[in-house]
Chains A and B, each alone.
Chain A
């Protein structure tokens, strides 16, 4: 129940931000119409969009329509903003989930290895590479990979959407961006857990090292990682913006970016609010997952 209240506050907040955005410059009409628009056209447009009404009324109407999934029509494409955003969603979802998988495939094995080989050469190497990876700007890394794999080697297409070949570079860039932090967290989580009593008990019981690591330690080390992923999901979406931009990936983020550039406010608002809803639902799902894999929290809730 508390959680639901939080979700409602967050939704209201995001809708408020995206609404206020329009009024930041004072008069939204001047931003949306060309400078040399005739006087009567401005007045007509203002009336059509409802800008001549009090601001509170405007916000409430906006909220009422938004709750029904109606953000108005795109100013340029003459189509409902909601459906424009919705048809871009699958592409973004594909990118985010592939990037996420790549990150996990890099981060979790490396994190476990460097925890098991704590303070050895391998551990130091992994940790330094992780620090370097964190300092690397995502869009520069993407550009560099483009130069090497698309232009010099000619193995992969530069940009676009469709085949699995198009998917490789964007998801690898996102994965490499996300991996360092996840790796460091997996490492510290594993180190923490390997020194716990129950791990020692399991070893003393005569279980093999491999079995202890996989069954006892790994499962528990995953908990902080999953929590972090939930908390950081917003940043993952932020990284998707960057990646979509560099690779001309036809997702929500590139739609949003174009809409921002052309001052297509219905689309901007629709995509901001819907992205926020998406992020919130993922956070929620992660909370549920954590309670499932962590019996301590599960028992407390009962």
Chain B
């Protein structure tokens, strides 16, 4: 096989997998788009997100009478451009989503590894804590903790991260229990490898897939939770633009200005939808049965 053919084969293979996972690809594109919007917010936003003209308050979107092309999605209660605030709001949502996942992954995976691998009393303690936290609706827990420590961006990150690690611990623990019985772990132990090293260099890489899939679904949940907390006024504090906070403000003006409640929610919806699709795609990609399908259909044709 010459190099040119090999490249075209690789290209074909990649495109083929992307097509098989087309919903996941669509999701990834949405996520990439949202990230770009968040990063370049100050370049693409048409107005200043913090300053509005009070004379132009509560203007409808441009296709309705009274709206102008200058404010495509209309303006809010103090005359700030809605589109601009939605663009800047993506920053809060994405940062909270990914950062809280990072916190809960670190804690949850670590405890799950220990609890699954070492067993006995450590496992009992960790599993009890996990059971308690999973029985209880952690929305309530997060609400209560934030109310006591005071609402702020950092507190929200920490509370979301600290209240949701048990999901990871449960999944990781089950996976470790499955993997640690297998021959290659036995072999590593026979070769004299230390427990810690077996755990982190032999078992850990195998459970990364499950963690990745769970994380992508968690990011979506965190974005919705962040929005809900900000909606209640317990999350990001004004005037920082956040989708949930905008929805919270919009409640008062719902009778007259429907666009204030519609578009920020639509933004949350699109972002979480994209992330969920991406998560499903990642899961399909790592699923051995499905992957076999990709490869076999490649072999038949290529």
- Interface residues of chain A, those whose CB is within 8 Å of chain B, are 6, 9-10, 13-14, 17-18, 21-22, 24-25, 31, 131-132, 134-140, 143-144, 146-147, 151, 234-235, 237-238, 241-242, 245, 253, 256-257, 260-261, 263, 268, 272, 275-276, 279-280, 283
Contact = CB atoms under 8 A, between A and B. Distances in A.
A272 B135 CA distance: 12
Given A17-B136, A143-B261, 14 more contacts: A10-B132, A21-B144, A21-B145, A21-B148, A24-B148, A31-B148, A134-B276, A135-B273, A139-B247, A143-B265, A234-B136, A238-B138, A241-B140, A260-B143
7 pairs of A and B residues whose beta carbons are closest in the complex? A140-B265, A238-B137, A13-B132, A135-B273, A238-B139, A135-B272, A260-B147
Given A137-B227, A147-B254, A237 B276 contact: no
A279 B137 contact: yes
Nearest to B270: A135
B86 to A, nearest CB: 13
Contacts of B148: 21-22, 24-25, 31, 263
A184 to B, nearest CB: 11
A131 B24 CA distance: 12
Contact of B135 (A144, A261, A268, A276): A276
A272 B275 CA distance: 32
B144 A137 contact: no
Given A31-B148, A137-B272, A140-B268, A13 B247 contact: no
A22 B145 CA distance: 9
B172 to A, nearest CB: 18
Interface of B: 23, 128-129, 131-132, 134-141, 143-145, 147-149, 220, 224, 227-228, 231-232, 247, 250-251, 254-255, 258, 261-262, 265, 268-269, 272-273, 275-277, 280
A9 B128 contact: yes
Contacts of B280: 131
A131 B232 contact: no
Given A9-B132, A234-B135, A137 B224 contact: yes
A144 B261 contact: yes
16 contacts: A131-B277, A131-B280, A135-B273, A136-B272, A137-B224, A137-B265, A137-B268, A139-B247, A140-B268, A235-B137, A238-B137, A241-B143, A242-B139, A257-B232, A275-B137, A279-B136
Contacts of A131: 23, 273, 276-277, 280
Contacts, number: 119
Contacts of A132: 273
B128 A245 contact: no
B50 to A, nearest CB: 24
A272 B149 CA distance: 17
A275 B276 CA distance: 30
Interface centre among B134, B228, B254 (most CB of A within 10 A): B228
A154 B276 CA distance: 35
B272 A10 contact: no
Nearest to B233: A261
B205 to A, nearest CB: 28
B228 A137 contact: yes
A144 B232 CA distance: 17
A59 B132 CA distance: 18
Contact of B149 (A25, A151, A234, A256): A25
B137 A135 contact: no
A13 B128 contact: yes
A132 B276 CA distance: 9
Contacts of A235: 137
A22 B265 CA distance: 34
A15 to B, nearest CB: 10
B268 A144 contact: no
A135 B276 contact: yes
A283 to B, nearest CB: 7
Contacts of B220: 135
Contacts of A14: 132, 135-136
Contacts of B231: 139
A127 B224 CA distance: 21
B268 A6 contact: no
Contacts of A237: 137, 140
A280 B135 contact: yes
Nearest to A11: B132
B251 A136 contact: no
Contacts of A257: 143, 232
A13 B133 CA distance: 9
B145 A272 contact: no
Contacts of B275: 135
B247 A140 contact: yes
B255 A151 contact: yes
A8 B247 CA distance: 40
Contact of B144 (A143, A144, A238, A268): A268
A143 B251 contact: yes
